[in-house]
């Protein structure tokens, strides 16, 4: 079996140039719909990308992910570089074949993960010197090696190596960090990549409008296939997050996809779609599922709470996922209390499906020119039951 897999590793999809076009706009906001094409398929936007950091969406097989309706997933260059290694994944034909996912994959550069290492990393002009969080071994990540790692993984959309400044940080600290990110972006853009592989530039600048504007002007001049807003959802107040997106999103090239990294809650997504964002990712659906926090149209639900012990209803009677079609809240509570692995699987199926369904509803509302009404109605219902953990 192993020999057969290796023999087939070189068989891949023909390279198809990445391209994006808008398909609709809302009349009362900046919300928009679009379509981007990759060698592994087409993706409708606005889109939520389930996070598959280490080559798996935690708790789900690829077939289960597909059944949720997800069109694209996210991997992480830092984690896959450390384990099992990008060279090994390349020998198996790339990440798509290695993990048996036939759809598009976006890989994060790992800059945020290296930033999160704190004392285990050192920033230089050349790149990052850091120690592995797994075994303490020493490594260097430069813009060029970051691109080489993502090239080996075979992702459809790659991200520039950047530095994410902490919050709070002084204006001068953020300005210095931004300047380095822009120099690294230029080096990433000059690194050769395979035909059809997209490269997104990342806007940094913290919550400072003048720095955001300066950074976006530079990365726009360099020219990328798409543009991301990074360095947000790192501890700043929610109002500052929205203000920064409101200011920065219109400055990004309108004809390219706009990606807000690491965001977020259903409320965040609804707000930021209205501000012109096309792409989102967040660990929240999968992480919350493992912790027993489930999303429903009527708000968040803590499945271990005693009120669900005798509850024979599905998690969400408006959800058509495998979990809601087949299992009661009572059974799901039993699995979670008993710490059965199936609890994580069923909870994750539901949460990911909830997010994918939310995006589908958003796209439909934008096409109909009714995004404002959809957002208002969804939030009014969603906020009726924001349940707390009863202990």
Q: How many residues does the chain have?
A: 391
CA 68 from centroid of its chain's CA atoms = 16
CA distance 165 to 156: 27
Q: Is 281 a catalytic residue?
A: yes
DSSP 115-144: HTTGGGEEE-SS-EEEE-TTT--EEEE-HH
Strand segments (E) across 13-55: 19-25, 32-38, 41-45, 47-50
Q: Is residue 279 within 8 Å of 45, Cβ to Cβ?
A: yes
**Sequence-ordered list of residues with C-beta below 8 angstroms from that of 363, at least 6 positions apart, any chain:** 33, 44, 45, 46
Alpha helices, H only, the chain: 2-7, 62-67, 77-82, 86-91, 95-99, 111-115, 143-153, 171-189, 209-222, 238-248, 266-273, 284-290, 322-326, 329-337, 341-367, 371-382
| Contact between 289 and 344 (Cβ < 8 Å) | yes
Nearest residue to 76 via CA among 125, 141, 27: 141
Catalytic residue chosen out of the listed positions 26, 108, 156, 225: 108
Contact present, 30 and 249 (Cβ < 8 Å): yes
User: What one-character DSSP code corresponds to residue 251?
Assistant: G
Q: Which of 162, 225, 281, 316 is catalytic?
A: 281
Residues in CB range of 164: below 8 A, 6 or more apart: 111, 112, 115, 177, 204, 230, 231, 234
| HEC sequence for 65-119 | HHHCCCCCEEEEHHHHHHCCCHHHHHHCCCHHHHHCCCCCEEEECCHHHHHCCHH
Cα–Cα dist 88/92, whole Å: 7
**Structural contact between residues 354 and 295, judged by C-beta atoms closer than 8 angstroms:** yes
φ and ψ at residue 349, rounded to 5 degrees: -55, -45
- Catalytic residue annotation: 108, 281
């Amino acid at each position: 079996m192993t020999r057969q897999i290796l023999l087939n590793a070189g068989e891949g999809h023909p390279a198809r140039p990445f391209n994006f076009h808008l398909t609709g706009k809302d009349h009362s906001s900046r919300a928009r719909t679009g379509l981007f094409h990759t060698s592994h398929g087409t993706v409708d936007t606005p889109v939520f990308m389930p996070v598959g950091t280490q080559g798996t969406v935690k708790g789900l097989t690829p077939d289960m992910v597909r059944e949720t309706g997800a069109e694209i997933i996210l991997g992480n260059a830092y984690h896959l570089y450390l384990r099992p290694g990008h060279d090994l994944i390349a020998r198996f034909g790339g990440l798509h074949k290695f993990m048996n996912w036939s759809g598009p994959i976006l890989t994060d550069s790992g800059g945020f993960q290296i930033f999160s290492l704190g004392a285990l990393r050192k920033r230089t002009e050349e790149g990052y010197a850091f120690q592995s969080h797994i075994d303490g071994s020493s490594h260097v990540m430069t813009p060029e090696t970051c691109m080489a790692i993502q090239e080996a993984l075979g992702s459809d959309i790659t991200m520039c190596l950047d530095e994410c400044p902490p919050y709070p940080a002084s204006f001068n600290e953020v300005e210095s960090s931004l300047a380095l990110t822009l120099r690294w972006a230029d080096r990433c853009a000059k690194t050769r990549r395979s035909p059809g592989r997209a490269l997104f530039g990342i806007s940094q600048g913290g919550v400072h409008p003048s720095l955001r504007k300066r950074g976006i002007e530079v990365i726009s001049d360099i020219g990328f296939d798409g543009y991301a807003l990074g360095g947000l959802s790192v501890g700043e107040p929610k109002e500052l997050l929205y203000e920064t997106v409101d200011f920065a999103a219109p400055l990004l090239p309108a004809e390219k996809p706009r990606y807000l990294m690491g965001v977020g809650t259903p409320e965040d997504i609804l707000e930021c779609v209205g501000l012109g964002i096309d792409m989102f990712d967040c660990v929240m659906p999968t992480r919350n599922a493992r912790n027993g926090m489930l999303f429903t149209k009527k708000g968040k639900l803590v499945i271990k709470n005693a009120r669900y012990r005798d509850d024979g209803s599905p998690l969400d009677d408006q959800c058509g996922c495998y979990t809601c079609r087949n299992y009661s809240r009572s059974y799901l509570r039993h699995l979670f209390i008993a710490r059965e692995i199936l609890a994580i699987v069923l909870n994750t199926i539901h949460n990911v499906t909830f997010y994918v369904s939310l995006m589908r509803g958003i796209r439909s509302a934008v096409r109909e020119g009714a995004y404002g009404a959809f957002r208002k109605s969804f939030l009014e219902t969603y906020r009726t039951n924001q349940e707390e953990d009863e202990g």
